[in-house]
Every structure is written in structure tokens, then in C-alpha cells.
Amino acid sequence: MATDWFTLRWSDEGVVMLDQRLLPGQELYLTLGSVEEIARAIEDLVVRGAPAIGCAAAMGIARAAVVSEAKQVADLVDDLEAASERLARTRPTAVNLFWALERMRESWRGLADGAGAGVAELRAGLVAEARRILDQDVETCRAIGAAGLELVPDGSRILTHCNAGALATGGYGTALGVVRAATEAGRSVTVLADETRPFLQGARLTAWELDRDGIPVTVITDNMPAWLMQCGEVDLVMVGADRIAANGDVANKIGTYGLAVLAKEHGIPFYVAAPLSTIDFATANGDAIPIEERGRREVAEIGARTLVPEGVPVRHPAFDVTPARLVTAIVTERGLARPPTVASVRALAPSD
Ligand code: MRU
């Protein structure tokens, strides 16, 4: 895998993020020092993809600790709570955001209440925890890749949607992590990337990162999969997830559900690759998953160009829900839920 770029990193000056809005044209890294800047970067899709959003939010909490002028632990904790509340308002569907904020909260409670840490120790502990979350995310993605290997025979032509790659995670990727693992295992695989309107994560991001790794990728428009499946040009579908309910229903980028219906019709396996931090065991099924609505501009404009007459309404849900019955298997770092059911998903949960 290429090592000459990264999605996000901690630095003493701030959180360094590759500005994904500018890809593939420009590779620009932003250094964001304040919680507000980090929250806006998440909202504006500088950094996106559920696991990467979680990593960014964790670093946002660590930055809040570093920049806080609090002299007392109680005041620092107030600042951390305020930061957490701001970050939690950025993107409602990606459950990794809330997972990461909760993990950071557990960390500061453990340090402050449990270990009696002072302000300086609390700051250092939260920076270390945020960095750990990032490192563990990459390890988790590699484990997802290894678990998914059995689903990807040599020669597979894999259709994917949006970007569930290194750019959407701490590195390596979930759906694209499986692709990378197959490639590293010596299998010859090719990827069809849906362009993924409206923000074009497939055309811009999936194509960019796979091309950088030398993995063959072809971009198609979002209305081509049905025909290409009918022509026998797709062997399997592999996508990521923003939130998976306890019964295996999957929220992912708008358009994913349509692909699952098409895959069923054509007898093509439909796989979802995601870390356990994307499974929301507290949400019984997909009906309860909040679906983010984004703004008109993402649909009505491309760059400087207006596509839709002024005054004509547009719809802009960012995600849809694929019922578990359309999912052949969910691939996690702890193995597969195949097929996903309440029991098979529950069996993946770490026992505590
Ligand atoms: O709006 P985005 O770009 O954040 O949406 C991303 C997706 O839908 C991904 O498929 C999902 O977050 C999984 S990323 C490993």
C-alpha cells in the first residue's frame, strides 16, 4: 500500500488532514488546531467516511484538552464536554463518531475519576488515546481485509460504492481493505467504482486511492450497475457502512440499497465490510437509524456549475438503509456474520 500520503494524523500543531474536497486535482493537507475547525472539517467533508470521522472526532477531543486554558480538572472536563457536544452535532448517521466520543469520555473519566490525574496528565492521556484510536483503526481494517479474503476469488470483478478505503478510515480501508488484502495475497482483482453522486466519492476518491496503489479501477456512472450486472461483468459487490443495526440492516451512502436490490436480482453476492465500532447494538433495526440530510448545493451544483433550475426543489438524503435480508455477509475484524441476523451479528460482539 502507498505510504506517501495519509488521511489524517496527529501533530503538536493540530490535526493534519488531507482535504478530500480537493481530490483528485490537488493534494493539500490542512492543520486544524481548534475544535470548531475540526467540527467544520467533518461537516464539510474534508474528512469523511465513518471510521475516519471517528478518528477525527477523537483527535478533536484531544485538541480540546491541549488548547483548554483550564487550571482545574473540573474546568477541563467542562471544556471536553462542550467539545464533545459540538463534535456530536457534525454527522448524525456515522455511528463511529459517537463511538469515538464515548471512548474519549471513558478515557477522561478513567483518568480523572479513576486515576486521580491532574490537568497535564489528562491532556497527555487524551492525546495518547486519540492516537491509539487511529492506530487501532488501521489494524482493524487489516483484520477486516484478512477476514474478507475468502469472499474474493482470484479474478474477481468487484463493484463498490462511495469510498470505503484508506481515505475513509485511519488507513487501509474496509471494503477497499478487502480489495487490498486480496491484491496482497496475489489475487488479480479489478474494481468497478460507482461515481457516487452527489459528492462523487467513487469517481474522485476510490479511483484516486486505488490508482495510487496500482489496483485496477474503472469508474462508472451510478446508472450503469444494472446493465453491467446483466452483462455478467460483476462478480460481487463490496461496500462499507456508516451504521449497522443489531439485526444487520445497513446504513451506507445513498445508492447502496439500490445496488443490493440489483445484486439480489442477478444472483450476485452483496458484502458489507465494517469494523465492530460501526455496529450499533443499541439500535434494533434500520428504521431507527438517523439519516443525514445534506444541503441543496451538493445536488444542485457541481463545482461552479448549477445543474438544477433555481426554485426547483431537490432531495438530499446522504444515506439509505439496506435491509439485512439483501446482505450476503457482513465482514468485520472478528469474522463474518453470514447471513446477518440478530444472532450472527450479536455473536461478533466482544464479550464483556
Ligand atoms: O458521506 P461520506 O463520504 O462520509 O459517506 C461514506 C460512506 O458512505 C462509506 O461507505 C462509509 O462511511 C464507510 S467508510 C469505511
Instruction: Quick: pLDDT tens for 276-286.
Output: 999 999 999 99
β-sheet with 279-280: strand ranges across? 279-280, 243-245, 250-253, 319-322
CA of 50 to the centre of ligand 1 (A): 5
Under DSSP, the state recorded for 306 is E
What per-residue confidence (pLDDT) applies to 1? 56
Q: Is any ligand 1 atom within 6 A of the Cβ of residue 242?
A: yes
What per-residue confidence (pLDDT) applies to 117? 87
CA distance 178 to 238: 8
What per-residue confidence (pLDDT) applies to 350? 82
CA distance 54 to 97: 4
The residue whose CA is least distant from atom 10 of ligand 1 is 240
The predicted-structure confidence for 290-335, as pLDDT tens digits, reads as follows 999 999 999 999 989 999 999 999 999 999 999 999 999 999 999 9
Provide the grid cell at 26: 490537488
Annotation marks residue 242 as catalytic: yes
From the candidates 242, 249, 280, 320, give the one annotated as an active-site residue: 242
Banded model confidence at residue 114, pLDDT cuts 50, 70, 90: confident
State the closest ligand 1 atom to the C-alpha of 174, by its place in the atom list counted from 1.
15
CA of 170 to the centre of ligand 1 (A): 13
CA of 122 to the centre of ligand 1 (A): 32
Give residue 39's Cα distance to chain centre.
16
8 A C-beta contact, residue 191 and residue 210: yes
Q: Is any ligand 1 atom within 6 A of the Cβ of residue 201?
A: yes
State the closest ligand 1 atom to the C-alpha of 239, by its place in the atom list counted from 1.
10
CA distance 105 to 80: 8
Q: Would the pLDDT of 341 be above 90?
A: yes
CA of 231 to the centre of ligand 1 (A): 28
Single pTM value for the model:
0.97
